[in-house]
């Protein structure tokens, strides 16, 4: 049976709006299991529709909460206020609005910065942390980046050539064979993105904050990375896992930057096992 399209949101058991400062954040709850899994959004050129396969695969086991990041989907698009701290405050507001005292937090790519800051600033609310392909430069880590074998076609400038950048970037995100359908669906979502917001956000993000605070994360953590990722080098991901005090690194052979989206049949069971183990270890 063909998987449902990422373009279509699954029916939610509950929908609502959290207020983060003056910004309204649209959230959705799926399922009512004994543990809660909060999915922190990735780069907000896409919205929470890209999590369709996680919702479908986990809602029968857990209480799954997703939300559209500020600047995307049904959430507000303020003119400014796009620091990682602002995004972490949004995640906290969703936990509060959904009456969630503690959750396992799952984030991928850009969203891993948000998840780390949430775990550090509100440690009692984060019972476990799953980071997928974290794009972080850990202070002091020696990382072997590009080699001649890593050369790709020239990258379009996303600030000035957004319509060309999106398909180029998404094709590199999903480097696995037979990914055409996934690429087409995510490209369609990304082309709806708020380009002016993305440009403003780029002036506000501090990419050095979260990497420097990895050592302050106290909850169990799992770092997941596809070995065929074309966007984040394995050496950098190893450094992130090593900097977290209580983390394991799980490598997925031959998978790309977003194994959660491309191969939920592999990724979802890994998350389910981690969530249950983390919950069993909490007092």
Write down the pLDDT at residue 147: 45
Q: Residue 239 — very low, low, confident or very high, per pLDDT cuts 50/70/90?
A: very high
Write down the pLDDT at residue 1: 66
Task: In whole angstroms, give the CA distance from residue 138 to residue 232.
Answer: 13
Fold of 14-280: Rossmann fold (3.40.50)
Q: CA dist 48 to 10, 71, 161, 256, Å?
A: 11, 12, 24, 20
Question: By three-state DSSP, how is residue 282 classified?
Answer: coil
Q: How many CB atoms lie within 10 A of CB 107?
A: 26
Alpha helices, DSSP H only, in 195-263?
Answer: 195-204, 234-243, 259-262
Angle at 79 between CA 75 and CA 80, to 5 degrees: 95
Task: In whole angstroms, give the CA distance from residue 239 to residue 18.
Answer: 35
Report the phi/psi class of residue 255: left, alpha or beta, with left for phi > 0 and alpha for psi in -120 to 50.
beta
Which residue in 229, 196, 162 sits closest to 78, CA to CA?
196
- List of residues 6+ apart from 200 with CB closer than 8 A: 79, 80, 82
Q: How many CB atoms lie within 10 A of CB 40?
A: 29
Q: Residue 146 — very low, low, confident or very high, per pLDDT cuts 50/70/90?
A: very low
Q: Is the pLDDT of residue 142 over 50?
A: yes
- CB-CB contact of 126 with 119 (8 Å): yes
Question: Percentage of the chain surpassing pLDDT 90?
Answer: 92
Q: Residue 145 — very low, low, confident or very high, per pLDDT cuts 50/70/90?
A: low
Q: CA dist 8 to 28, 143, 176, 232, 240, Å?
A: 14, 39, 23, 29, 34
Write down the pLDDT at residue 148: 44
pTM given for the model? 0.96
Which residue in 256, 271, 251 sits closest to 55, CA to CA?
271
- Radius of gyration in angstroms for the set of CA atoms belonging to the chain, rounded to a whole number: 17
Strands (E), the chain: 14-20, 23-30, 36-40, 63-67, 103-108, 126-132, 221-226, 247-252
- Digit-coded pLDDT (tens) for 60-100: 999 999 999 999 999 999 999 999 999 999 999 999 999 99
Write down the pLDDT at residue 283: 66
Q: CA dist 227 to 133, 185, 238, 242, Å?
A: 10, 23, 11, 17
Phi, psi of 66 (to 5 degrees): -125, 160
Write down the pLDDT at residue 64: 98
- Digit-coded pLDDT (tens) for 98-128: 999 999 999 999 999 999 999 999 999 999 9
- Digit-coded pLDDT (tens) for 177-236: 999 999 999 999 999 999 999 999 999 999 999 999 999 999 999 999 999 999 999 999
The pairing of strands 23-30 and 103-108 is unpaired
């Amino acid at each position: 049976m063909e998987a449902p399209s990422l373009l279509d949101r699954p029916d939610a058991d509950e929908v609502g709006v959290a207020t983060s400062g003056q910004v309204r954040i649209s959230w959705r709850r799926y399922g009512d299991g004994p543990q809660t899994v909060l999915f922190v959004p990735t780069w907000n050129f896409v919205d929470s529709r890209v999590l369709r396969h996680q919702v479908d695969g986990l809602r029968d086991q857990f209480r799954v909460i997703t939300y559209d990041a500020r600047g995307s989907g049904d959430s507000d698009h303020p003119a400014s206020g796009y620091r990682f701290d602002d995004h972490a405050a949004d995640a906290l507001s969703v936990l509060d609005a959904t009456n969630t005292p503690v959750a396992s937090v799952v984030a991928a790519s850009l969203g891993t910065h948000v998840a780390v800051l949430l775990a550090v600033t509100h440690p009692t609310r984060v019972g476990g942390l799953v980071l997928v392909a974290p794009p972080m430069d850990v202070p002091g880590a020696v990382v072997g980046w590009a080699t001649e074998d890593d050369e790709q076609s020239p990258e379009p400038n996303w600030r000035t050539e957004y319509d060309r950048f999106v398909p180029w970037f998404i094709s590199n995100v999903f480097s696995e064979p037979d990914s055409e359908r996934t690429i087409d669906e995510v490209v369609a979502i990304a082309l709806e993105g708020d380009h002016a917001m993305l440009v403003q956000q780029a002036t506000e993000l501090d990419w050095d904050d979260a990497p420097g605070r990895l050592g302050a994360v106290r909850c169990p953590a799992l770092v997941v990375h596809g070995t065929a990722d074309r966007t984040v080098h394995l050496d950098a991901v190893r450094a992130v896992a090593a900097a977290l005090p209580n983390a394991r690194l799980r490598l997925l052979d031959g998978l790309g930057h977003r194994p959660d989206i491309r191969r939920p049949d592999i990724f979802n069971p890994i998350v389910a096992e981690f969530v249950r183990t983390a919950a069993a270890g909490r007092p």
